[in-house]
Structure 1
Amino acid sequence: MQALPDWMVPPRPEGWFAEDLDHLPEAPRHTELIDGALVFRLTPQRAWHSRAVTALTAALMARAPGGVEVAREMTTRLDARTRLEPDVLVTTAPYEADLTCFALEEILLVIEVASLESAHRDSTVKLRKYAEAGIPHYWYVEDEDGAPVVHVYELDEPTRAYAPTGIFRGSLQRLVPFEIDLDLDKLVPQRGD
């Protein structure tokens, strides 16, 4: 067994902190931090995942009202020891070229598109973490025979837990965090479409 590279050794006994990610240039792209532990994407993403993330980002950008920005694959600090990178996020933060992390109070919606490697984390761990952090809306997107299925959650403030508000196939219509009307079947066209 080979020794770990020096950069993989936590700088303190309690593990990593959210700010540490900005000082780890050797870490693989899309490295996240959950409860002080580094989490790496170990497998290549499928084309379906990439297409779904790009299509959702573009569709939401086209519908976002003034003062609302849509970003993909940008981190947000949930607490001192957790920094996640949702596939898509909707924020009130103005665009800044050098920004590496969004503040919690600026996040309106986070979207995770499931992959084989991330499905469990996205549907359980991240669902709980985003809710505990107070992010108002969470979407979890799955591949169902090539078509996106969107599980939509809204934060119940008193319990700091998400309440499911629907599972959408074919189309998705929402009034929050802003008016959204998506034709899900056109987001990731099937072969020959």
Structure 2
Amino acid sequence: MIPDMSAPEKRCELRLTSEEFADGKADGLGDIEIVQGLVIRMIAPSPLHSRVVRRLAGMLEDARRPGGPCMVVDSDVAARFVDSESPVEDRRLNIRYPDVWIRDCEPYDVNSVREHILLVVEVTSGSTIDVDINDKRIQYATAGIPRYLIVRLDQKEERIEEIEEYRLDWSGRRYLVHTVHRRVLLLDEPVEATIPFDALERV
């Protein structure tokens, strides 16, 4: 989903603490993310964005090996990341809803699922690209998620330009570019998959 940045001066600022989130205060707010306690409302993605997320999740799910490690593929499911350092309680909470992830089969818990994610994917849009390549890349690396894919759409959001694959470096807390995939996504971990871009793009 895409952050709604329209007319910020007219939008009422809403903040949540971790306790309020746990009590269900975010229920009914629709598609949101929470960054340093601030609720960011999301707008509907483009048709291509939606198509790529849906198809990529399905293809990754199909790529799981029978008899191999148990893995779950999810889309737009909440994950809590490390709280921001702030003396103010409603300036700490960080909740993301990654476009796609692969995780192990430990029981889902929003507070700890980040520790079980094996690969996370974000599909860019014009309004999210800076967050995807900067904020989320730092956040996901700090959480120790081994692999991060950024699917870059072109400016008109009509095709995939490239898919950047990041992997943690020796520190285990910072990403380095491993491969830039063009026209075909070739994965070896946590699943083996060969996914042509046109299989994700086609109408």
**Residue correspondences, number:** 179
Name 1:90's counterpart in structure 2.
102
Q: 1:74 touches 1:101 (CA, 8 Å); kept in 2?
A: no
User: Could you tell me which of 155, 160, 166 is aligned with 1:153?
Assistant: 166
Q: 1:68 touches 1:92 (CA, 8 Å); kept in 2?
A: yes
TM-score under structure 2 length normalisation: 0.77
Aligned pairs for 1:80-159 (under 5 A) are 80=83, 81-94=93-106, 103-144=113-154, 146-148=158-160, 149-158=162-171
- The separation in 2 between residues aligned to 1:17 and 1:60, in whole angstroms, is 32
TM-score under structure 1 length normalisation: 0.81
Unmatched runs of 5 consecutive residues or more in structure 1: 11-15
Aligned pairs for 1:1-193 (under 5 A) are 4=12, 8-10=14-16, 16-17=17-18, 20=21, 22-29=24-31, 31-41=32-42, 43-65=43-65, 66=68, 67-80=70-83, 81-94=93-106, 103-144=113-154, 146-148=158-160, 149-158=162-171, 160-189=173-202
Unmatched runs of 5 consecutive residues or more in structure 2: 1-8, 84-92
Task: Kindly provide the CA deviation profile for residues 139-163 of structure 1, in whole angstroms up to 9, marking residues without a partner as x.
Answer: 0111137332211100124151101
Identity within the alignment, %? 25
Name the structure, 1 or 2, with higher relative contact order (CA <8 Å, separation 6+).
Answer: 2
- The separation in 2 between residues aligned to 1:49 and 1:157, in whole angstroms, is 33
- The separation in 2 between residues aligned to 1:95 and 1:104, in whole angstroms, is 12
Task: Kindly provide the CA deviation profile for residues 35-72 of structure 1, in whole angstroms up to 9, marking residues without a partner as x.
Answer: 2222221x321101000001100110100234011000
